[in-house]
Structure 1
Amino acid sequence: MNAAMPVIDQPVLSCSGLGLQIRDVELLDEIHLDIRHGETLGLIGPNGSGKSTLLKLLAGVRMPSRGSIHLDGQCLKAQSRRTIARTLALVEQQADTLDAISVFDAVALGRTPWLSALSSWSAEDTEIVHQALRNVDAAHLTTRTWRSLSGGERQRVHIARSLAQCPRILLLDEPTNHLDIQHQIGILNLVHALPVTTVIALHDLNQALTCDRLAVLERGRLVALGKPLEVLTPHRLLQTFGVHAHYLVDPFDGAKILRFRSW
């Protein structure tokens, strides 16, 4: 076995006792989480529950007040930004790119961790960028400028940039925001088909049902973790989200879907 390959039995990304406090506000508290090789883990919770903050800590973008994060069994803070970027990519909700840059060049930024004085831009890098754009149905945008894109188009280009990093772990913060329903379905299908480990924050609980496991955050604490149908019980939905809900069965494929009501 290649010594650089992660051990499949151990978590590829984990945190223990993770917390973040800013002034007197506790944003996250005592988060313990092991993320398994190849799984799609959904992060769900009400607004302000800590989903985006947790993703930023796991990516090393922000430093925790306490606790530890391990990537491939090694302490995250001991690893270089280049090493982390070759393994893990984060797509934030609000990510900026220079207005004057072209779509191709914006996605090409994803190749930065793999470039050096000894490894300059190659035809392979060009093909990786084009493939990333094809994967998110944005190949036709290649020559457009960033400032000319709609919100949904920008979101797809940001995802393409993360794919161009060729990460083994993909962290996505509500990636279907600003997308029409066709592209929401397309992006989620792509995420599930990618041969990577994925942690994805979602608002749509029916979309969350397609994940392998769900982690439920409430006021900065992890209150439930497990398979979607085990986690999203009527009791949990009422307690955490303040809604009554029951399951319906889709006659097309037998899948369970949630129907919500406020009373």
Structure 2
Amino acid sequence: MNACVEQACSALAGVNLSYSVKGAVLLRDVSLAIRPGENLGIVGPNGSGKSTLIRLLAGIVMPSAGEVSLSGQRLTSLRRRDIAQRLAVVEQQAETDDAISLLQAVELGRTPWLSALAPWSEEDTRIVDQAMADVSLHSLRHRAWHTLSGGERQRAHIARALAQRPQILLLDEPTNHLDIQQQLSILKLVHQLPVTTVIALHDLNQALACDRLAVMEHGRLVALGSPFEVLTPERLHSTFGVHGHWLTDPFDGARILRLR
């Protein structure tokens, strides 16, 4: 399939994306198309461009060159409201100084769907309640935002994104600040969602559950394919600076990475 056809058939695509800040090139000539319904993982060392790519695909920042398309439409041709009804993003450092409760923070996810002709309804309340329950925060819904731990805030950001009911969900290292039980729970939830997901991850073994992996290095896309295709011993050494090989878990037969 050629690049133009693949872009038109994709849920979300970037073509020849580059991004620079004050002369420093953070991303250079990255092209990829995310298939409808797939779970694409973005991996790479710190500073490789994972967060920058997520922000470009979300339309939070505009590329210095190249373009992003959403279901075949240029992102720049769409209204922010229309984008927000179809795409939600969870950033690493999304914070607020407003004196709000956890419930109010999650309710913000319904904003793109509200208008004078479509005010808040019981359905909105049901969606918000379900989003908080999905990340095990319903019992904390009336807590003030500033009293929440880092992990609780991270889960609240994910709940807010879920309340948006997007077709595409972008997450930038969503398991940061979470303990291992919460990490596994959130990743299981993400993989079960009936949406297209793009998730930047730090842990390579957690990334194995993705359909495909995009490997970033020094702002470039250096590999794209299934986890077992791209995480070769040669790639692990050249990109991540580690030695690694595959092991089979005797408990369930799953393949895992042993890094050293």
Taking structure 1 as the reference length, what is the TM-score of the superposition?
Answer: 0.95
Contact 1:172 1:199 in 2 (8 A): yes
Matching of residue 129 in structure 1 with residue 124 in structure 2: no
Give aligned-pair identity as a percent.
65
The Cα of 1:259 is off from its aligned counterpart by 1.1
- Provide the C-alpha distance between the structure 2 equivalents of 1:184 and 1:97, rounded to a whole number of angstroms: 23
- Provide the C-alpha distance between the structure 1 equivalents of 2:17 and 2:98, rounded to a whole number of angstroms: 36
- Provide the C-alpha distance between the structure 2 equivalents of 1:81 and 1:33, rounded to a whole number of angstroms: 22
- Provide the C-alpha distance between the structure 2 equivalents of 1:181 and 1:215, rounded to a whole number of angstroms: 24
Contact 2:17 2:65 in 1 (8 A): yes
- Provide the C-alpha distance between the structure 2 equivalents of 1:188 and 1:86, rounded to a whole number of angstroms: 23
The Cα of 1:9 is off from its aligned counterpart by 8.1
2:150 maps to 151
Contact 1:21 1:27 in 2 (8 A): yes
Matching of residue 77 in structure 1 with residue 76 in structure 2: yes
The Cα of 1:247 is off from its aligned counterpart by 1.1
- Provide the C-alpha distance between the structure 2 equivalents of 1:173 and 1:21, rounded to a whole number of angstroms: 19
Secondary structure (helix, strand or coil) at the match of 1:207 reads: helix
Letter paired with 2:159: A
Cα deviation, 1:93-138, whole Å, max 9, x if unaligned, reads 0101234201111000000000001110011101110000000111
Secondary structure (helix, strand or coil) at the match of 2:9 reads: coil
Secondary structure (helix, strand or coil) at the match of 1:170 reads: strand
Which residues of structure 1 form unaligned runs of 5+? 1-6
1:249 maps to 248
Cα deviation, 1:48-96, whole Å, max 9, x if unaligned, reads 0010011111011000000011001000011000000000000000101
Contact 1:208 1:228 in 2 (8 A): yes
The Cα of 1:248 is off from its aligned counterpart by 1.1
Contact 2:7 2:13 in 1 (8 A): no
**Counterparts of residues 35-114 of structure 1 (less than 5 Å):** 35-114=34-113
Secondary structure (helix, strand or coil) at the match of 2:169 reads: strand
Q: How many residues align?
A: 255
The Cα of 1:169 is off from its aligned counterpart by 0.1
2:177 maps to 178
Letter paired with 2:35: R
1:140 maps to 139
- Provide the C-alpha distance between the structure 2 equivalents of 1:128 and 1:8, rounded to a whole number of angstroms: 32
Runs of 4+ in 1 over 2 A off after TM superposition: none
The Cα of 1:24 is off from its aligned counterpart by 1.9
Taking structure 2 as the reference length, what is the TM-score of the superposition?
Answer: 0.96
Which residues of structure 2 form unaligned runs of 5+? 1-5
Matching of residue 195 in structure 1 with residue 194 in structure 2: yes
Cα deviation, 1:156-178, whole Å, max 9, x if unaligned, reads 00000000000000000000000
Letter paired with 1:245: G
1:4 maps to none
The Cα of 1:35 is off from its aligned counterpart by 0.2
Secondary structure (helix, strand or coil) at the match of 2:216 reads: strand
The CA RMSD measured in Å over matched residues stands at 1.3
Cα deviation, 1:227-249, whole Å, max 9, x if unaligned, reads 00000001000000000011111
- Provide the C-alpha distance between the structure 1 equivalents of 2:63 and 2:7, rounded to a whole number of angstroms: 26
